[in-house]
Amino acid sequence: MKQVNIGICGLGTVGGGTFNVLKRNAAVITGRSGCDIRVTRVATRQLRDDIDLTGVAVSEDIYDVVNDPAIDIVVELIGGYDAARELVLAAIANGKHVVTANKALIAVHGNELFDAAEKQGVIIAYEAGVAGGVPVIKALREGMAANRIDWIAGIINGTGNYILTEMRAGREFADVLKEAQALGYAEADPTFDVEGIDAAHKLTILASAGFGVPLQFERAFTEGISKVTPYDIAHAELLGYRIKHLGIARRREDGIELRVHPTLVPKDHLIAQVDGVLNAVLMDGDAVGQTMYYGAGAGAEATGSAVIADIVDVARVVASGSTQRVPYLGFAPEAMEDLKVLPMDDVQSAYYLRIQALDKPGVLAKIASVLSEQGINIESIMQKESEVEEGRIPVIILTHTVQERQINAAITELEALSEIVGSVVRIRTENFN
């Protein structure tokens, strides 16, 4: 049985989980891979009591791993951008395959890294970068190979989903965020999670692997959940919708939509039922229709599970000396399309609008006329006399699908009306059809 040597860079949460699962399930992993997968080197700045490194060469310098001629696969788990990029480029230059859980690295530097890896004939695998332990990259690149993928929508940040789930009980964002921080679900600086940056990294990767377009993280639109209110959550529910922080990528003829924002989704759709810290990715292929992939999007061993699945895939290549490859982004480089991310003005969506109006006759007619002039059809409208406060009443409108520029124009006009107070709240809405 061929021995395949693994070097792990970084022994934090995911590194530790990966190491421990590789050890605990060595028999299963050998049985599945047909190779003797051995961690022969680890680079870490801090040793951990819960990890037994007996028999493993340990050093502080990650380049000891990359420069060890015996290492077949470098596992990059140090995180971050620049140091990780340099590490991976060095590993590629040394002819080593790379497995990483670093979505930021792939989303931002992936085009460069894949290009370098392609020239060297080595693999970069990144299943663990999206949706943790859920094998969604494999599903997209391989399981969906027959399909033209039309769109992808994912709950791909557990922190955000936890907060929105808890807010359904009527709690405020700030209150739940504090709790999430206490529970360790959210960082001290939660920006990365709650403002959608982490989700945009993952969405960028999903879109490229699904559509065969270059990674364009810098063009992704992100809107966080910090402005979502229990009021809007409750009223969305009354209209048959739930608010989720979704990453949405849609392939259009002239480009792709790439956007992360709070989204109303139909309550009876399966993705609306995905609660707490869990992740789910829904995709639509022209042959298969909608499929969904669900599970833990984070955690030491769940993410380690995806890292190891990649290691096994790559180990099979190493052991068989095969030139067989799944293309980095699903499509062979020459089959990639240079489709650009569309500006938000060109995005197509339905919308939930909450308008604070003066409670007097004719206001509704004015609102309807502004929308109509912009070519926006109303799907449903809700206004409750019981909600009148200081002579003002909230008017909630669900629109049909239109272009975002139409809604922007309508909102500008609405906010200019003397009968409208303050800003119009706008939440995008997806019906998945």
* Residues annotated as part of the active site: 202
Token pair listed for 129: 């970068």
21 makes contact with a copy of itself (CB under 8 A): yes
> Which CB sits closer to a copy of itself, 103 or 426?
103
Q: How many residues does the chain have?
A: 433
Contact by Cβ (8 Å): 75, 100:
yes
51 makes contact with a copy of itself (CB under 8 A): no
Rg from Cα positions in the chain: 24
In the DSSP assignment, the letter for residue 129 is: G
345 makes contact with a copy of itself (CB under 8 A): no
3 makes contact with a copy of itself (CB under 8 A): no
Q: Where are the alpha helices (DSSP H) in 168-259?
A: 173-183, 191-194, 197-211, 230-238
120, 121, 123, 279, 324 from 92: Cα distances, Å: 7, 9, 9, 31, 17
Specify the residue for token string 């009148």.
388
273 makes contact with a copy of itself (CB under 8 A): yes
> Which CB sits closer to a copy of itself, 17 or 394?
17
46 makes contact with a copy of itself (CB under 8 A): no
Distance, CA of 326 to CA of 319 (rounded, Å): 16
123 makes contact with a copy of itself (CB under 8 A): no
Report, in Å, the least distance between residue 290 CB and a copy of itself. 6
Return phi, psi of residue 221, to 5°: -95, 135
User: Among residues 248, 227, 121, which one has the least CA distance to residue 167?
Assistant: 227
Distance, CA of 274 to CA of 267 (rounded, Å): 11
> Which CB sits closer to a copy of itself, 206 or 308?
308
Of 18-26, 72-80, 186-194, 400-408: span binding a copy of itself (CB under 8 A): 18-26
Of 2-10, 47-55, 299-307, 423-431: span binding a copy of itself (CB under 8 A): 299-307
| 66: enclosing H helix or E strand | helix 62-66
Token pair listed for 407: 């809604």
Of 25-33, 68-76, 197-205, 219-227: span binding a copy of itself (CB under 8 A): 25-33
416 makes contact with a copy of itself (CB under 8 A): no
Return phi, psi of residue 153, to 5°: -135, 130
Interface size with a copy of itself, residues (CB under 8 A): 70
Q: Quick one: which of 49, 50, 54, 323 contacts a copy of itself (CB under 8 A)?
A: 323
For the CA atoms of 290, 343, 213, 248, the dihedral, rounded to the nearest 10 degrees, stands at: -30
Distance, CA of 175 to CA of 169 (rounded, Å): 12
What SS3 class is residue 429?
Answer: strand
169 makes contact with a copy of itself (CB under 8 A): no
> Which CB sits closer to a copy of itself, 177 or 312?
312
Buried b (16+ CB within 10 A) or exposed e, 332-347: eeeebeebebbebeeb
Return phi, psi of residue 420, to 5°: -105, 135
> Which CB sits closer to a copy of itself, 76 or 310?
310
Of 158-166, 232-240, 322-330, 407-415: span binding a copy of itself (CB under 8 A): 322-330
Q: Quick one: which of 135, 190, 196, 224 contacts a copy of itself (CB under 8 A)?
A: 135
Report, in Å, the least distance between residue 118 CB and a copy of itself. 12
130 makes contact with a copy of itself (CB under 8 A): no
143 makes contact with a copy of itself (CB under 8 A): yes
227 makes contact with a copy of itself (CB under 8 A): no
Of 6-14, 20-28, 70-78, 216-224: span binding a copy of itself (CB under 8 A): 20-28
Of 72-80, 142-150, 214-222, 347-355: span binding a copy of itself (CB under 8 A): 142-150
Classify burial at 304, counting beta carbons within 10 Å of its beta carbon; exposed 0-12, middle 13-18, buried 19 or more.
buried
Catalog residues that contact a copy of itself under the rule CB under 8 A. Answer: 17, 21-22, 24-25, 27-34, 127, 132-135, 138-139, 141-148, 212, 270, 273-274, 285-296, 299, 301-302, 304-309, 312-313, 316-317, 319-320, 322-327, 330-332, 335-336
